[in-house]
Amino acid sequence: MKKSLFKKFIVTTMAFGIVATAFSTHSFASTTSTVQGGTLSGGSMTFTGLPATLNGTLVKSTANWAIGDITDARGTGEGWNLSLTLTQFKEVDGNGAYVIGGKSLATNSLKVVGVPTINKKDSTSSDITTITPVASGTALDNGSTVKVLSASLNGGMGSYTIGNLGVELTIPANAYAKTYKTDATVTINTAP
């Protein structure tokens, strides 16, 4: 009987040792996530004409210029701005070339009358209050760079749908009946 009891003791001890080993072994693991930045893109503008017919009094012509969606996927929080520079309206010939010594409209004839709206394309984008649109009444056609939209530091991160920029061209009663053109430069820049 002693022999049988001894075998039970060895089997029980081995089973206990296996169970004890299973409970005393711990494995700790960790993981990382490297979030890579993307790019700042969008903000293209589509310009439509501002036709007008002279009638002996001051005439105003309005248009809505479309602004493309803007995405800031850089993940830097540096802010950004969408800038527009327009030259003075000057006379062009039938081929769109400027007429040397031609007529022109006064600078500051084109002003903002409708500020662009801003909406999130993705609900996790920065709050739209972190993006400031250009002020109504801002003159555009004097060769100065105007910030149409400006995202603050730590703002404007994500993707946005931008509404139209409403503009109004004022043409005086003594204007010459010509075709006038302005050259536009649109840029999206890092920093507010």
What value does the mean pLDDT take over residues 96-107? Answer: 97
Please state which of the ranges 9-13, 21-25, 89-93 shows the lowest mean pLDDT.
Answer: 9-13
Q: What is the mean pLDDT of residues 81-97?
A: 97
Interatomic CA distance for residues 154 and 130, integer angstroms: 8
**pLDDT, greater one: 16 or 189:** 189
Give the burial class of 101: count Cβ atoms within 10 A of its Cβ; 0-12 exposed, 13-18 middle, 19 or more buried.
Answer: exposed
- The more confident residue out of 16 and 100 is 100
pLDDT value for 75: 96
State percent of the chain over pLDDT 70.
Answer: 86
- When pLDDT is cut at 50, 70 and 90, the band that residue 6 belongs to is very low
What's residue 9's pLDDT?
47
11 pLDDT tier (thresholds 50, 70, 90): very low
**Both tokens of residue 98?**
């400027």
Distance between CA atoms of 183 and 133, rounded to whole angstroms?
Answer: 22
Mapping DSSP onto H, E and C, the string for the chain reads CHHHHHHHHHHHHHHHHHHHHHHHCCCCCCCCCCCCCCCEEECCEECCCCCCCCCCCCEEEEEEEEECCEEECCCCCCCEEEEEEECCCEEECCCCCECCCCCECCCCCEEEEECCCEEECCCCCCCHHHEEECCCCCECCCCCEEEEEEECCCCCCEEEEECCEEEEEEECCCCCCCCEECCEEEEEEECC
User: What is the per-residue pLDDT for 51?
Assistant: 96
Q: What is the mean pLDDT of the chain?
A: 90
Measured CA to CA, the distance from residue 172 to residue 109 in angstroms comes to: 9
Count other Cβ atoms within 10 Å, centred on residue 100.
Answer: 6
Domains for the chain: give ranges and CATH numbers: 40-190 (2.60.40)
Task: Tell me: pLDDT of 10 over 90.
Answer: no
Specify whether the CB–CB gap between 44 and 144 falls below 8 A.
no
- pLDDT-derived band of residue 34, with 50, 70 and 90 as boundaries? confident
**pLDDT recorded at residue 15:** 46
Rounded percentage of the chain residues whose pLDDT exceeds 90: 81
- Give residue-wise pLDDT tens across range 108-154: 999 999 999 999 999 999 999 999 999 999 999 999 999 999 999 99
